[in-house]
Amino acid sequence: MSENRVVTLEKEGTIAIVTLKDASGLNLFNRDMVMQISEVQDEIDRDKSLRAVILKPGGDHFSAGVDLEFLKSVTPTFIKENIDFLQRTFGRWRDMPMPVIAGVRGLCYGAGLELILGCDMRLAAEGTRLCMPEVRLGLSADQGGTTRLTQLVGLGPAKRLILACDEVDAQEALRINLVDYVVAPEEFEERLMKLAKRISYMPPAAVRFGKKGIYLASENSTAAGLLFEQAQSTYCFGSEDLAEAISAFIEKRKPVYKDQ
């Protein structure tokens, strides 16, 4: 990995903790930031023991968006050569087998908002402010912003956020389904870890199938979703972890899963 890390990875048991923390405290996106996110994603993919990922800021703000000095240097050639990589990196969290939980506080603007849209769940601290100001700058939200935001919140709220560049607070974000949980600032770290641990304690294959089935259902026909359910159900009923989950429940003990 590159030096001068602004994106770090720690592991607590089966949970990966990805932290964004640059010198400005605003986690401004530039090429190096995205490259480091990609490197961390590579490392997470290599560790088959992980069962949940937390993505969070190391300071008071998740991200104030793109670094404007970097933005001034971007050319059509740069976009042509890099946009596919950028979109894949921002959406790669969805392709991971384990759930990825974004924890946001302070500012979550532009590229920062696009990054959490690619995650599976979003937990916001009270006082968080979310905004997609690209149109105001003469840009489009091209790292999955217009696509994933619209899929997540629907046409009306997406128009407010993208075309009017509305800023919403945590409670409004919860109301329009932009975030899934709102917590007190002093509970932010604890609630993030508690959610990740709760998921990590569940049978890994069932969690993987659940995640994949949700996205398949949202982007395909009912018939395709039901066919996937048939396949995953056949697998789960033949797994050792199903028997372990039932035995542990009956015996009132903590289950030990083998992911088999």
Is 134 one of the annotated active-site residues of the chain?
yes
Is 114 one of the annotated active-site residues of the chain?
yes
Token output for 132: 């997609």
Catalytic residue among 12, 39, 81, 134: 134
First to last CA, the chain: 32
Q: How many CA atoms lie within 13 A of 179 on its CB side?
A: 25
Catalytic residue among 12, 43, 69, 114: 114
Chain center to CA of 220: 21
Query: To which H or E segment does residue 187 belong?
Result: none
- Residues paired with residue 169 on neighbouring β-strands, in sequence order: 129
Pairing of strands 167-169, 121-125: unpaired
Rounded Cα distance, 219 and 21, in Å: 34
Residues with active-site annotation: 114, 134
